[in-house]
Amino acid sequence: MELVWQHRWGADVYPLSTSTLVIVLRIARCTPVARLQVHYGDRYELDFRSCKDAKHYGSDGAFDYFTCEVEVPTRRLKYAFEAVSSSGQVLYLGEGGLATTLDAVQPYQYPYIHPSQILTVPEWAGNTVAYEVFPDRFSVGGRLLICPSVPWEADPTTESVFGGNLRGITDKLPYLRDLGVNLLYLTPIFQAPSNHKYDTQDYFNIDPSFGTLDDLRSLVQEAHRLGIRVVLDAVFNHSGFRFSPFQDVIQRGRASPYWSWFFVDGDHVDVESVNYETFATRLRHMPKLNLAEPAVQEYLLAVAKHYVLECDIDGWRFDVANEIDPHFWPRLRAELRALKPDILLIGEIWHDGMPWLTGDAFDGVMNYPLRDLVLRYAVDEAIDEVEFAHKWVRLYLQYPRSAWLTMWNLVGSHDTERVLTRANGHVPSVVLAYAMLFTLPGIPMLYYGDEIGMEGGTDPDCRRGMIWNENLWKNDLREAVQQLAGLKRTHPALSGDRLEIHDANSGVLHYVRLNGTGPHLHIAVGKRRAFGAKVRSPRFAWDVPSRTSGEGRKILIWECNSTEGCGHDSRADGFHNQ
């Protein structure tokens, strides 16, 4: 039965509010269902008082996905599914398995909707466009604060220092505003010996090569004046080798008051054999912190609150968040929300982030699974439209809808090759990837320089100095990004969490962003030259020929009050196949 019917606690039943639950059921396609209903009622009542049709959202190729929103006025719920097969057979499904009558089914239970179980995210997130900056490589403002080890145009190594600083970022804020950015994310800026600063030496000091606390205050103030929020990077999974508590442990062993802050095998730290846990595998300069230790929690909570209080930052992105003791996150979330109710909290998680999106940890995670999906379709052309739709359905229903408002959607970062390099220099493929990134639910995040066509392989090559010579920019790519950023920031349909796939055939992808107060937004990729002839005044239109075959292709975005496309019958111009 579990191979045919799948309904999991947490991922497939979650609250949108204290009176509404979302319920999801997967049914294997080998047992086609003509109709699915949810019977539900208060747990303490004998009968199911209500019944509602579940909507077929889509398929991942193996399962059909059905969703339903039910009202729970008492906050307590029991529910069961009624499925009618294509042959007319009726079956009921509950916690105890299948039954032939509703009276015989053992229902599922949602004992009580607690406010702490509701994922609430900042209201401002819906129309946000994020931009990631690697401070050493973005811009030099004022006098140099450190002597660069290489020229700005040099290919970076793991040890290169270019000299970028906070004043340089402040100077370039008008560039970001002009691009359409309204959220700036900085990789670590706290004192550390490396160029990347993920080996923190002092969490309470800005690295002197970047500036001072006053420089950070000025950056945040000017950003806010221009309508740009600022998110900092918190490295709480591990410290740096020069972190004073770790140095004390090296010197004093078990006698150190900081001994329990780390994971040491033995009575003393052996730097040569690395007898302590670290980030990744035996990276001696990044000892892992023990977040189960109350003193460590107190210290890092003080760090997180310090920059909110002192500099008015708008959020944190947490490095290696999935390896930190999960008991730390509810306290951190509660204390930061008490200081700033609309603060944004994002976890760096490269896989399924559901355990951290249940209301007591993060608002969203870095959406690397979506990155893989978009790149495989738009850039690699390794999957077709049908497979994209299948994988989207599975990914979309993997998370609560609220989380989709704040997922950080990206195609490049300081940890990946640059998107234009992935596309072998083919700009139209990158435009298509960005058009999808900006129109799928979530916060699109640009990696500095990707919008002008910078290239680079994986770390450290993806961390080249930002190109400020406009003669070297790919202005068609930047223009596309500007248009898409403007659409994301202003269109109500893109501020929500709802998406439906209208068509997915070989050569055709058409999805709709639903808008409850005005026109929906249609996004379509088609291969026929005639595609889009009947769409008037599109909000975005771009030729995106295939990178591998050269076949003509276009992406088109337009408004319509109907989810069907406002009379644009794509059958007539070959947009989709019957």
pLDDT in tens, 225-279: 999 999 999 999 999 999 999 999 999 999 999 999 999 999 999 999 999 999 9
Provide the pLDDT for residue 212.
Answer: 98
Q: At what angle do helices 213-225 and 294-311 cross, to 10 degrees?
A: 60
- The pLDDT confidence band at residue 573, using thresholds 50, 70 and 90, is very low
319 is catalytic: yes
Model's pTM, two decimal places? 0.95
Provide the pLDDT for residue 537.
Answer: 82
First to last CA, the chain: 34
Provide the pLDDT for residue 517.
Answer: 86
The pair of structure tokens assigned to 266 is: 């033995």
Q: 3-state DSSP helix/strand/coil percent for the chain, to nearest 5?
A: 30, 25, 45
Rounded CA gap, 578 and 574, in Å? Answer: 9
Write the pLDDT tens digit of every residue in 397-413: 999 999 999 999 999 99
Distances from the Cα of 496 to the Cαs of 363, 420, 442, 443, 549, in angstroms? 15, 29, 8, 11, 35
CB 391 within 8 A of CB 370: no
Lowest mean pLDDT among 95-104, 422-431, 434-443: 95-104
Distances from the Cα of 139 to the Cαs of 111, 248, 449, 526, in angstroms? 54, 36, 12, 40
Rounded CA gap, 539 and 192, in Å? Answer: 45
- In this prediction, residues 360-389 reach a mean pLDDT of 97
117 burial class (0-12, 13-18, 19+ CB within 10 angstroms)?
middle
CB 19 within 8 A of CB 113: yes
Distances from the Cα of 569 to the Cαs of 204, 456, 536, in angstroms? 60, 42, 13
Provide the pLDDT for residue 567.
Answer: 52
DSSP state string for 291-309: TTSHHHHHHHHHHHHHHHH
Characterize 144-161 residue by residue with b for buried, 16 or more Cβ atoms within 10 angstroms of its Cβ, and e for exposed.
ebbebeeebeeebeeebb
Rounded CA gap, 18 and 517, in Å? Answer: 23
101 burial class (0-12, 13-18, 19+ CB within 10 angstroms)?
exposed
The residue behind tokens 């080996």 is 199
**CA-angle at 428, arms to 489 and 536, nearest 5°:** 60
Write the pLDDT tens digit of every residue in 300-357: 999 999 999 999 999 999 999 999 999 999 999 999 999 999 999 999 999 999 999 9
DSSP state string for 159-205: T------HHHHHHTHHHHHHHT--EEEE---EE-SSSS--S-SEEEE
Q: Would you say residue 193 has pLDDT above 50?
A: yes
Write the pLDDT tens digit of every residue in 443-497: 999 999 999 999 999 999 999 999 999 999 999 999 999 999 999 999 999 999 9
Provide the pLDDT for residue 566.
Answer: 72
- The pLDDT confidence band at residue 562, using thresholds 50, 70 and 90, is confident
Write the pLDDT tens digit of every residue in 122-147: 999 999 999 999 999 999 999 999 99
Rounded CA gap, 460 and 165, in Å? Answer: 19
- The pLDDT confidence band at residue 516, using thresholds 50, 70 and 90, is confident
- In this prediction, residues 558-564 reach a mean pLDDT of 89
Q: CA neighbours within 13 Å on the CB side: how many for 155?
A: 6
Lowest mean pLDDT among 45-59, 452-466, 552-566: 552-566
Residues 6 or more apart in contact with residue 402 via CB below 8 angstroms = 16, 118, 119, 120, 121, 497
Catalytic annotation, pick one of 348, 363, 385, 559: 348
Provide the pLDDT for residue 183.
Answer: 98
Residues 6 or more apart in contact with residue 169 via CB below 8 angstroms = 133, 135, 138, 139, 141, 184, 186, 219
Provide the pLDDT for residue 536.
Answer: 73
348 is catalytic: yes
Provide the pLDDT for residue 577.
Answer: 26
The pair of structure tokens assigned to 69 is: 């929103």
| DSSP-derived 3-state class of residue 407 | coil
3-state SS of 491-532? CHHHHCCCEEEEEEECCEEEEEECCCCCCEEEEEEECCCCCC
Cα 352 from chain centroid (whole Å): 11
Rounded CA gap, 482 and 180, in Å? Answer: 6
Torsion angles phi and psi, residue 88, rounded to 5? 100, -5
Write the pLDDT tens digit of every residue in 523-549: 999 975 445 446 778 999 999 999 999
CB 15 within 8 A of CB 21: yes
Rounded CA gap, 301 and 13, in Å? Answer: 31
Catalytic annotation, pick one of 199, 319, 450, 497: 319
Characterize 276-301 residue by residue with b for buried, 16 or more Cβ atoms within 10 angstroms of its Cβ, and e for exposed.
bbbbeeeeebbbbbbbebeebbebbb
Q: CA neighbours within 13 Å on the CB side: how many for 207?
A: 25
- The pLDDT confidence band at residue 576, using thresholds 50, 70 and 90, is very low
Rounded CA gap, 232 and 317, in Å? Answer: 6
* Residue 4 or residue 332, greater confidence: 332
Prior bond of 400 cis (ω within 30°): no
